[in-house]
Amino acid sequence: MDTSPKLAALLDVIRPLGSVLVCYSGGIDSALVAAATVRALGADRVVAMTAVGPSLADFEEEEARVVAAEIGVRHELVASNEIEDPGYVENGADRCFYCKSELYRLSAVKQVEWSLAHVANGTNLDDLGDHRPGLEAARRAGVRSPLVEAQLTKADVRQVAAELGVTAWNKPAAACLSSRIPYGTKVTRERLGQIEHLEGALKRLGLAQVRVRWHSLGGTDGSTRGVKDGSMARVEVARDELAAAFDQRDAIVQAGKAAGFAFVTLDLAGYRTGSANELLDGRSLRVLS
């Protein structure tokens, strides 16, 4: 079967690896790495590992199961405990480093247990221009990034995934729930639960690209200072879904109240990846030369 040059380049990167543990979130990037690794090495030489903790929404876990089954890859769920790490809970601009460090610690243990030669992630070429402290965790752990090594951008990932028949090739971008909490505001199970509750409700309303940004009505530490139900949801949806979201504003407010938010707002700028990074001192989401 003929393959595109981009898929051929990815398979060429993967073949020498022999056997691989893929850090698999169910997102399109890691799904492509899993699918391409099965294609290059055979299903018996690949394990897709999903780290399960409070920052992974139940609906994302279920979608990961479905996509893994379609790919035909062995899928393992492993409990993750980043919520016990003070560095992660404090939620500084380097929070992702602590999260990924826990992921790669688990991967190293399971790599030995499952007798696999390498650990790989779903980082793509475009990710290198973003604020992603997790990249340093991957470097320290010696994790391979086949999409970067094959020079695949996010657009390339979707194209190659479609070529391989991955049904999630056009799945909206996803990120862990903790990315919805502003830097400097502590990550807690309760706040993650609020976000998951409301995002799930918004998806059930038919909105495809959704982010619920959690904001305290008290101090930056999340204290309410006597304010009842002291949190606000800033809802981001794709710009072409803003009108649909506004039309359903009563249902969205009701869902937000049910999730424990005092106020629910709709961000008129629309969804954009990593909007929390816009507030980092001296750094924007994408740094252009």
The contacts of residue 83 (CB under 8 Å, 6+ apart) are 53, 54, 55, 89, 187, 189
Q: What is the pLDDT of residues 189-238, one digit of tens each?
A: 999 999 999 999 999 999 999 999 999 997 555 555 554 448 999 999 99
Q: What is the pLDDT of residues 257-278, one digit of tens each?
A: 999 999 999 999 999 876 565 6
Residues 20 and 126 in one domain: yes
Domain assignment present for residue 164? The answer is yes
Q: Where are the beta strands (DSSP E) in the chain?
A: 20-23, 46-52, 74-79, 118-120, 210-216, 231-237, 263-266
**pLDDT over threshold 80, residue 147:** yes
CATH code assigned at 256: 3.30.300
Residues 118 and 16 in one domain: yes
* Burial readout 189-207 (b: 16 or more C-beta within 10 A, e: otherwise): eebbebbbbbbbbbeeeeb
- As a whole number, the mean pLDDT across the chain is 91
Boundaries of domain holding 274: 177-278
Residues 17 and 87 in one domain: yes
Residues 87 and 224 in one domain: no
Where residue 248 falls among pLDDT bands split at 50, 70, 90?
very high
| Mean of pLDDT values over 164-179 | 90
Higher pLDDT, 286 or 12: 12
Helices 154-163 and 28-41 cross at an angle (nearest 10°) of 50
Structure tokens at 199: 């995002």
Domain assignment present for residue 151? The answer is yes
What total number of domains does the chain contain? 2
pLDDT of residue 70: 96
170, 192, 225 — which closes off a domain? 170
Domain assignment present for residue 289? The answer is no
Residues 152 and 187 in one domain: no
Residues of the chain with pLDDT > 70, as a percent, come to: 90
38 burial class (0-12, 13-18, 19+ CB within 10 angstroms)? Answer: buried
CATH code assigned at 26: 3.40.50.620
| Mean of pLDDT values over 155-175 | 92
| Mean of pLDDT values over 161-169 | 94
pLDDT of residue 237: 97
Q: Which of 65-69, 81-85, 169-173, 205-209 has the lowest mean pLDDT?
A: 169-173
Domain assignment present for residue 285? The answer is no
Domain assignment present for residue 288? The answer is no
What's the chain's Rg over C-alpha atoms? 19
Residues 243 and 153 in one domain: no
Domain assignment present for residue 89? The answer is yes
pLDDT of residue 218: 74
Residues 157 and 191 in one domain: no
Where residue 3 falls among pLDDT bands split at 50, 70, 90?
confident
Residues 62 and 144 in one domain: yes
170, 189, 205 — which closes off a domain? 170
Domain assignment present for residue 113? The answer is yes
Higher pLDDT, 61 or 221: 61
**pLDDT over threshold 60, residue 253:** yes
Q: What are phi and psi of 115, to 5 degrees?
A: 55, 55
pLDDT of residue 282: 46
Residues 55 and 165 in one domain: yes
Residues 132 and 50 in one domain: yes
pLDDT of residue 276: 61
What 3-state DSSP class applies to 232? strand
Domain assignment present for residue 262? The answer is yes
121, 150, 170 — which closes off a domain? 170
Residues 139 and 199 in one domain: no
Residues 273 and 130 in one domain: no
